[in-house]
């Protein structure tokens, strides 16, 4: 049970570029807390100066997050309110904060989100790719072999694929996308909400050519969005890959419904199609 006298941890979204995107609620919360836990205190100090605020801060990043839990918990128990912010956007979304929130929630502390800017949502809203379903994967692996392996595993997925990427890896990542996913449509959002915000649209190979022609297009922080795989046709009796997977699942006493869901996730296609095929295989056993 939550102690009504304890403080609150506010998870506060901050602008990803344009300071006008900070909500009035976020500004008020930042002005009222006892301390701000910031990914980079120097970066957050610039935001506070913009707001005319001078507040105590402490750093909370991937290297010290676990060690900060007890320190911040003591302050919450004492009744202090705390704001958690990252350098830009919503904390925990490919940013620090998960360990802190998980541990404090397990202790029954009060945690309140203050929503706002998020790069992946902003990018999707203006990309013109399907958004009814999308799969966010954060940053792809830094090494080429692991990156290509991840892309190969995601190739059958029908949802729009979304990644973050840094400027020093963007060309290598686009080259791997071209190799693994071919000519699929890619939308690249660069420097969102900033002065040089740009959306590039085309195949990964075409975007690489664009960057060769204009090196400025390879600068800044990126959101990469890739069209999902085309839906698979209904399975046929000779679909050896699907039948082997379904058969193996059924042999392990996985239910028909669950087997269909796993097959759809791994091979694409509609679950109801795989459900019908799984039933047929089960009846034939």
**pLDDT by residue (tens digit) across 16-28?**
999 999 999 999 9
Average pLDDT over residues 31-44: 97
Average pLDDT over residues 54-66: 96
- The C-alpha atoms of residue 65 and residue 233 are separated, in whole angstroms, by 47
Q: Domain 120-226 classified CATH 3.30.950.10?
A: yes
Which comes out higher in pLDDT, residue 158 or 235?
A: 158
Nearest to 165 by CA among 157, 156, 175: 175
Average pLDDT over residues 53-59: 96
Q: Using 50, 70 and 90 to split pLDDT, how confident is the model at 235? A: low
Secondary structure element (H or E) that encloses residue 180, with its range: helix 170-181
* Maximum C-alpha span of the chain: 73
pLDDT at 229: 92
Torsion of CA 63, 64, 69, 74, to 10 degrees: -170
Residues making up the chain, counted from first to last? 285
Which comes out higher in pLDDT, residue 164 or 1?
A: 164
Average pLDDT over residues 84-88: 97
Reading across the β-sheet that carries 186-190, which strands appear in turn? Answer: 134-139, 160-165, 222-226, 186-190, 198-202
DSSP string, 185-226: -EEEEESTTSTT-EEEEE-HHHHHHHHHH-GGGG-S-EEEEE
pLDDT at 2: 59
Buried b (16+ CB within 10 A) or exposed e, 24-45: eebbebbeebebbbbbbbeebb
- The C-alpha atoms of residue 240 and residue 217 are separated, in whole angstroms, by 44
Q: Domain 8-117 classified CATH 3.40.1010.10?
A: yes
Whether the per-residue pLDDT at 237 is higher than 50: the answer is no
Average pLDDT over residues 249-276: 84
Q: Using 50, 70 and 90 to split pLDDT, how confident is the model at 35? A: very high
pLDDT at 126: 98
pLDDT at 231: 81
Domain boundaries, the chain: 8-117, 120-226, 240-284
Mean of pLDDT over the chain: 93
First to last CA, the chain: 52
**Percent of the chain whose predicted confidence (pLDDT) is above 70:** 95
Whether the per-residue pLDDT at 236 is higher than 80: the answer is no
């Amino acid at each position: 049970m939550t102690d009504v006298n304890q403080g609150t941890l506010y998870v506060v979204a901050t602008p990803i570029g344009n300071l006008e995107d900070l909500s009035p609620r976020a500004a008020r919360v930042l002005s009222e807390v006892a301390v701000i836990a910031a990914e980079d205190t120097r970066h957050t100090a610039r935001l506070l100066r913009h707001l005319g605020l001078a507040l105590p801060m402490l750093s909370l990043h991937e290297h010290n997050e676990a060690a900060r839990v007890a320190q911040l918990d003591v302050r919450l128990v004492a009744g202090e309110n705390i704001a958690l912010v990252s350098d830009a956007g919503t904390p925990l979304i490919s940013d620090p904060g998960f360990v802190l929130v998980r541990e404090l929630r397990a202790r029954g502390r009060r945690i309140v989100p203050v929503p706002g800017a998020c790069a992946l949502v902003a990018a999707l809203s203006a990309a013109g790719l399907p958004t009814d379903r999308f799969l966010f994967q954060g940053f792809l692996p830094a090494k080429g072999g692991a990156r290509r392996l991840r892309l190969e595993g995601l190739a059958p997925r029908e949802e729009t694929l979304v990644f973050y990427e840094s400027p020093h890896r963007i060309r290598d990542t686009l080259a791997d996308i071209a190799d693994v996913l071919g000519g699929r449509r890619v939308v690249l959002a660069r420097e969102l909400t900033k002065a040089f915000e740009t959306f590039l649209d085309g195949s990964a190979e075409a975007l690489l050519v664009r960057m060769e022609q204009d090196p400025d297009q390879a600068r800044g922080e990126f959101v990469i969005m890739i069209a999902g795989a085309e839906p698979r046709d209904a399975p046929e009796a000779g679909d050896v890959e699907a039948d082997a997977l379904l058969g193996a699942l059924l042999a392990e006493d996985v239910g028909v419904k669950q087997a269909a869901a796993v097959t759809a996730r791994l091979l694409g296609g509609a679950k109801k199609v795989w459900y019908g095929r799984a039933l047929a295989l089960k009846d034939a056993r």
